[in-house]
Structure 1
Amino acid sequence: MREKLLRIGTTYIPVTNVDLAADWYVKKLEAELSYKDEDKAILNLANQSIFLVKSLEGQSSNFLDIYGSERFSLTFEVDGIKALEALHKDFKQSEINVGEIEDRGHAGRNFTFFDPDGNKFDVWSELSPSFK
């Protein structure tokens, strides 16, 4: 069966201050800013368009699973464990709120990090087959 949906083109992330958030994503994650107004910023990051949308205080893209654990809605990929370790070190040196590298019982390793609004993201050391 052919896939009807080819890729995820845009992800929307709630932020309280568009200017500060856009600046953080550009400086800390090396995103490319392609548009910004008072309500949103559009970034190019990890082969995807990311919209930072001005939202109410306390909003985030995180959610709780059935066990009450906070979950992330996005996982970024890097090419191998060495790339993961280097990025983890870089994020720590850049003073990004970052978790420890974890073994979650599947191929590769992961770590989580947060943006200034508390949006939680994951990084995985395994590339999807189409990027290999």
Structure 2
Amino acid sequence: MEKKALLKRIECAYLPVTDVAASAAWYERVLGLKLRSPIQPGSGAIMIMESGQWLFLLPAPGGNPLHFVTTGWTEDHSPFEMFPICFETDDIRALDSSLRQSGVWMEEAIRDEGGCGLQLDFKDPDGNKFQVWQQPVIVPSKMPTEQWVSS
């Protein structure tokens, strides 16, 4: 008998930042997230995504950006700086433009991964690395204009 998965989904994520107020302003301005409540001195900030899920921005003096190196991501097993979180968007082109205007590190161009959609890797001002993807657009096949008529 197979065991039922006991984890349902990721409810929230915790991100290390060096300046909570500056990071919250960046996440609002660049990514369009909403600040849940005013920031209290010495505490973090809660940013709300469109889905209602939360990103906690927590003070991390000295910085400890989210990313790690893996050899399990590329075909040739070469080292790759991995993103621990992949976000979904409905408008990757607008996000690309907003990220470029902010001046953060990001890939040169949006990648079309076919059935895996459009993808883009970027870093926030603290160096936290993320991927964002947009579901592929499925174009319905054209229906024949002829109709079958039974005799």
Instruction: State the TM-score, normalizing by the size of structure 2.
Output: 0.71
Give the corresponding residue for 2:66: 61
**CA–CA distance in 1 between the matches of 2:31 and 2:93?**
15
Q: How does 1:104-115 map to 2 (within 5 A)?
A: 104=113, 107-115=116-124
**1:2-56, Cα deviation, whole Å (9 max, x unpaired):** 5432221110000011111111111111111113222211111242111001003
Give the corresponding residue for 1:51: 56
Q: What is the deviation of 1:57?
A: 1.7
Which of 80, 85, 88 aligns to 2:93? It is 85
Q: CA RMSD in A?
A: 2.2
- Which consecutive residues of structure 1, in runs of 5 or more, have no partner in the other structure? 128-132
- Which consecutive residues of structure 2, in runs of 5 or more, have no partner in the other structure? 72-77, 137-151
Which of 32, 37, 44 aligns to 1:40? It is 44
Q: What is the deviation of 1:61?
A: 1.0
**CA–CA distance in 2 between the matches of 1:59 and 1:15?**
8
When the two structures are aligned, how many residues end up with a matched partner? 124
**CA–CA distance in 2 between the matches of 1:52 and 1:78?**
20
Partner of 1:97, secondary structure, is coil
Matched, 1:7 2:9: yes
Rg larger in 1 or in 2?
Answer: 2
* Structure showing greater relative contact order (alpha-carbon pairs closer than 8 Å, 6 or more residues apart): 1
Q: Percent identity over the alignment?
A: 35
Instruction: State the TM-score, normalizing by the size of structure 1.
Output: 0.80
Return the structure number with greater strand share: 1
